[in-house]
Chains A and B, each alone.
Chain A
Amino acid sequence: MIFFKLKALKEKHFERWLSKRMPTVEQITLNRSNTFIFPSRFGSMLLTTCIVMFLIGTNYQNNLILLLVFFLLSFMVTCLLFSYQNLSGLNLTAVDSEDQFADQALIFRLRVNAKKGDAQQTQYFFKNSTSNINSVVDQQSVQLFAKSTQRGWFKPGRVTVQSYYPFGLFKVWTYLDFGFSCLLYPAPLENKLQSITLSGKETTLGGHQKKVGFDTFSHLKPFQQGESLKSIAWKQVAQGKGFFTKQFEQEIGGDVYLSLSALKGGSLEDKLAMLTYQVINYQQQGVRYGLDLDKVVIKVDTGARHQTICLRAIALYGLNNA
């Protein structure tokens, strides 16, 4: 227990020290003051080997073994310099990230600017890694991946940039704070569209209209040549009633109001997830919709901007850091 507490305390201290030493930046060029370098696990292993070989060489009074040891040590010094040189001068710029959905791979981008031949074999990942995939690196940019199930503002934290190039003897690394943050919408939870249809006065179209679609089964229709075999009602064929095709339909509404309080069942998070689904769905169907979240009411409208406003309102519902 005490061990974990101490560890946590140490971590906290380290974080504080880091934030003082390397405050949030949008762009950074790696240099002496912001990179760490230390022998890697393998490097320390080799150092131990060197000590062992030094003992062998000394005890056998064997100059060649000593020469080998000195060469390896000297090589490690050279390696130290090359390892540092590989990352120094690497210029990274954070790219602003857009809103994303919780529970999906969250992508944050860095623009990379390095001298030719530098920044070889460099790994990028979030210090507190949340995703299985860390990053995708190409010539000029890095996509960092994170994952979160929580809606609201998400801060992936510091980015670790590290490299073992060229011989794996040294680890050069740094924890950079680009102040990455993005708003996470709840992960859409599929549900039957429930909504309050507005009274005639408030709608523009009034009532329900239906159009051929995919959502719900409506009726059977005699089969016509050219129709998809997938939609044939095979049950009826088996019953000997002849060939029919299944027809589906979906609603195109009049204006709808999505209301948190109207949703039944499930936790608040589930309800918000449902609302997210609905907002996306109505937007796709081209239905005009409004949103009622008790405290926040968004008037009926349509369009990408409207969708963003609604989703943001849902994402931030009940959170004080709005």
Chain B
Amino acid sequence: MLEFLTRQSLSLILLSYALIMVLLTDQLHSVMIVFGILCALWRVAVFTGRVALLNKLMTNIFTLICSALVITLVYQQGMLSILVHLVVLGFSLKFLELKSVRDVHFFVNTGFVLVALFLVFNQSMLMAGIAMVSTLLLLTILLSLHGKALANYQQFKLLSKMVLLSVPLAVVLFIVLPRLPSMWKMPLQNKATTGLSDSVSPGSIAELSQSSELAFRSSFDGKIPAAAMRYWRVLTLDQFDGKTWTQSSQLKYQEEQVKIGKGPIFNRGSLQYQSASTRKQSVPTKENSYQIIIEPHYKHYLPSLDFAKATAGRILLSDYSLRTLKPVFKRQAFSIDQFNQVERSLLSPQSLKQFLQLPSGGNPKTKAWIATQQASGLDSYSILEQLLAKFNQENFRYTLQPALLGEQQIDDFLFTSQAGFCVHYASTYLYVARALNVPARMVTGYLGGELDSDSEFLSVRQYDAHAWVEIWKNQQWQRVDPTAYVAPERVEQGIMQGLDDQSEFLSGQYLSIHRWQANPFLNQLRNAFAKADYLWAVWVINYDNEKQFKLLQNLLKGLPWLNLSILILLLLLSAASSLILWVFKPWQTEKVPTEDRLFNKLYQKSTQQHLAREKGQTIADYCQALSQFKIEEPQLLIDFAKLYNQIKFKPSLSATQRKTLLAELAELQKKINRQFRKSLDFHKNRNGSE
């Protein structure tokens, strides 16, 4: 039954099936994966002759049942997930019933679609490479089917040749074809990723710190700010229940509004709270601007440095955090302007209440400590400074693996364990501030980021996640980072340097290249890879009409006589024509030996004498026959044939001898042709005179 499939094709099919299923593992329901494994096992069993393939009716029934099952299984995960699952199902079932070449064609086609769907979710260079490998594998299946007679190495050679030849045209198409806007809204998949969430309890950021996954990259138009200034704001938390910091209902409402695409823009929405005094403030000026290439996190968060403004496609919340209109579901680039300040506004009584909110009761020791400080006559801000001094001077430790805290979290931390992570310090500071009637909120985001070797861009990873505090002082929010008083290295250099015990850094990930920052070679490698990945993100993944226009314009600058459309046409034409030239190699025409060329010249003339050379007639015989015709010196023809044979069939001739003989032959040929012409003219004249 499988006669049309060679063993090689079948192994290739099996291999590509396995590869594509592995690629899509993240997107697939576990039942689907089990189903895929069963399919593969069945296929192998069929191949070894243990079981038979399903018949047509059974296959149809099976398909219907499976589709229904799959839809019910993944219905809640959205359209995209259903789509992926259905295509995978079709792919698997086709894989089961390969009965003809057409089935294989269908299989390969579905494979291409799955590779494309895989690219919806994965865009890193490595993943793109793997996708390319799967594409090539699928093409190899075709080759093994339609080029059976070729040996393996020939197939490999042909495929690589064709792929190499196809690349230039593909690249030109990629560069010059304009990008169309989205035609309709595509379903997106909600996916859990590592990243900041809208609630923070001690420990949740510590978890993030175990991930070396890239959060985003950024490059600056102006000077890159110092490490201690790189506080990337993502979201603020202002509701505390004694354990966990979350967003208040007001903020949550704003986030919900963002999701349906009509978020409040702080610059406008807050005007009503502006007092006379704040109207006199200076206008915010632009300080710097930067690009952010953010990794897909399937949320609306957009990290920004203080302070950003809302521009098209973005929303600024009341806490200055930026949001995107659409969730970031692929690596995406944003450019953001940094301002030195925001238009100030007063706190509404309602928000003031929120920023002073604390759970009632609890943490008696902390409250007692505050009371003693107050009793000694210090004002609120001085007490807060006292707290920071306490962090700095007492035996506080900065660690990713703190002891678990009891019911009275703040008390426990401040007086017992004295070991914790940024959230512990921020949370404690916040608690004390609010207890002192200082409006305060927690800000979570990222701090720092690593510069690449050429200082072109920053890579911010999940382990750079950080939490700090903002307090309302002098009619504006001011940043306080309590962690800086415990572990200043965390702020200035990064998390690894900040830790008291550096072995805690990425302790679960022995293989992570980021864990071994001390090794110079690995570091270099890491840097090179980061750089390539950055360029990939900027020039491939985020290549858009704007970049295209710039690039083509740059090309045009050097060649002022060109215009854009001609340039595009030229690029396409040159790619296509070079391909054609390379395939057909017109310069590799068969070389006709000189003696044969001479004979052909002679023959062209002689056919006018109505004597064609018969099939299989040797040149000598032909010349003999020709010499019977009216020609002044028939001997010339005999000589020609003799000389021709001598040149053609005498291998002992040296190069110089050959040359002289060829010259002689050419001389003879000219003479003969002249005589032919003469006799022809003669005949003509005679005919004319008659």
Choose from B146, B169, B186 the contact partner of A77 (Cβ within 8 Å). Answer: B169
Q: Given A65-B116, A168-B142, answer yes or no on A60-B174 (Cβ-Cβ < 8 Å).
A: no
Chain A hits for B583, CB < 8 A? 78, 81-82, 85
Closest residue to A42 on the B side, CB-wise? Answer: B105
Give the contacting residue for B170; candidates A56, A65, A73, A79; CB below 8 A: A73
A77 touching B166 in the complex, CB below 8 Å, given contacts A49-B112, A61-B330, A167-B146: yes
Task: Tell me the count of chain A residues lying within 8 A, CB to CB, of chain B.
Answer: 42
Within residues 101 to 140 of chain A, which ones have a CB less than 8 A from any CB in chain B? 120-121
C-alpha gap A110/B29 in the complex (Å): 58
A53, A61, A77, A166: the one contacting B113 at CB < 8 Å is: A53
B147 and A121 form a contact (CB under 8 A) = yes
Q: From B116, B167, B169, B329, give the contact of A57 (CB < 8 A).
A: B116
Q: How far is the CB of A85 from chain B (nearest CB, A)?
A: 6
Contact check, A72 vs B112: say whether CB atoms are below 8 A apart. Answer: yes
- CA distance in complex: A288, B147 (Å): 56
By the criterion CB–CB under 8 Å, are B540 and A67 in contact? Answer: yes
Question: Hey, which chain B residues are within 8 Å of A36, CB to CB?
Answer: none
Q: Which of B582-613 contact A (CB under 8 A)?
A: 583-584
The yes or no answer to A66 lying at the interface (CB within 8 A) is: yes
Are B174 and A56 interface neighbours, CB within 8 A? Answer: no
Which parts of B160-213 form the interface with A (CB within 8 Å)? 162-163, 165-171, 173-174, 177, 179-186
Please name all residues of chain A whose beta carbon is closer than 8 Å to the beta carbon of B143 when the two chains form the complex: 166-167
Q: Mark B96-115, 1 if CB is under 8 A from A, else 0.
A: 00000110011001001101
Residues 23-67 of A at the B interface (beta carbon under 8 Å):
41-42, 45-46, 49, 52-53, 55-67
* Residues 81-110 of A at the B interface (beta carbon under 8 Å): 81-82, 85
Q: Which residues of A contact B105 (CB under 8 A)?
A: 41-42, 45, 168
Q: How far is the CA of A74 from the CA of B181 in the complex (A)?
A: 23
Q: B105 — nearest CB in chain A belongs to which residue? A: A42
- Decide if B542 touches A63 in the complex (CB within 8 Å): yes
A217 within 8 A of B: no
User: When the two chains form their complex, are residues B142 and A49 in contact, meaning their CB atoms are under 8 A apart?
Assistant: no
Q: What's the Cα separation between A85 and B580 when bound, in Å?
A: 11
Report yes or no: B173 in contact with A74, Cβ–Cβ below 8 A.
Answer: yes
Q: What number of B residues sit within 8 Å (CB to CB) of A?
A: 58
Inter-chain contact B148/A71, CB cutoff 8 Å: no
Query: Do A55 and B166 touch across chains, with their CB atoms under 8 A apart?
Result: no
Q: How far is the CB of A214 from chain B (nearest CB, A)?
A: 42
B342: interface (CB < 8 Å): no
Chain A's closest residue to B576 (CB) is A77
CB distance from A280 to the nearest CB of B (A): 36
The residue in chain A whose Cβ has the minimal distance to the Cβ of B123 is: A64
Q: Does A17 contact B (CB under 8 A)?
A: no
Q: Does B451 contact A (CB under 8 A)?
A: no
Q: Decide yes or no whether A68 CB sits under 8 A from chain B.
A: yes
Tell me whether A68 and B116 are in contact (CB under 8 A): yes
User: Residue B135 at the A interface, CB < 8 A?
Assistant: yes
List B contacts of A71 (CB < 8 A): 135, 166-167, 170
The answer to whether the Cβ of B128 comes within 8 Å of any Cβ in the partner chain is: yes
B183 — which chain A residues lie within 8 A by C-beta?
55, 58-59
B435 CB within 8 Å of chain A: no
With contact pairs A85-B584, A121-B146 given, residues A63 and B543 touching in the complex (Cβ less than 8 Å) = yes
Q: Name B112's closest neighbour in chain A (CB-CB).
A: A49
Closest to B145 in A: A168
Determine if B184 and A166 form an interchain contact, defined as CB atoms under 8 angstroms apart: no
Would A74 and B142 count as touching, CB distance under 8 A?
Answer: no
A67 and B541 alpha carbons, distance in the complex (Å): 10
B579 in contact with A81 (CB, 8 Å): yes
A70 close to chain B: CB less than 8 A: yes
Cβ A121 vs Cβ B158 within 8 A: no
Digitize A206-238: 1 where CB-to-B-CB distance is under 8 Å, 0 elsewhere: 000000000000000000000000000000000
| A14 within 8 A of partner (CB) | no
Look across to chain A and name the residue whose beta carbon is closest to the beta carbon of B163: A75
Asked if A167 and B541 make an inter-chain contact with CB atoms under 8 angstroms apart, the answer reads: no
Instruction: Assess the A49–B179 pair: CB atoms within 8 A.
Output: no
- Name the residue on A nearest B540 (C-beta): A63
* Chain A, Cβ-Cβ closest to B124: A64
Given A68-B131, A166-B143, A77 contacting B119 (CB threshold 8 A): no
Residues of B within 8 A of A167 (CB): 139, 142-143, 146-147
Shortest C-beta distance, A240 to chain B (Å), equals: 57
* Residues B180 and A64 in contact, CB atoms below 8 Å apart: no
The winner among A46, A64, A78, A164 for most chain B CB atoms within 10 A is A64
A243 to chain B, nearest CB (A): 53
Binding site for A on B (CB under 8 A): 101-102, 105-106, 109, 112-113, 115-117, 119-120, 123, 128, 131, 135, 139, 142-143, 145-150, 158, 162-163, 165-171, 173-174, 177, 179-186, 329-330, 540-544, 576, 579-580, 583-584
14 A-B pairs in the complex with CB atoms less than 8 angstroms apart:
A58-B180, A58-B183, A62-B120, A63-B541, A64-B131, A68-B119, A71-B135, A73-B170, A74-B173, A82-B162, A121-B146, A165-B147, A166-B162, A168-B142
- Additional 5 contacts, C-beta under 8 A, given A74-B168, A74-B169, A77-B576: A42-B109, A64-B128, A68-B119, A167-B142, A168-B101
What 7 pairs between A and B have smallest CB-CB spacing? A74-B169, A74-B170, A70-B173, A74-B166, A42-B105, A71-B170, A81-B583
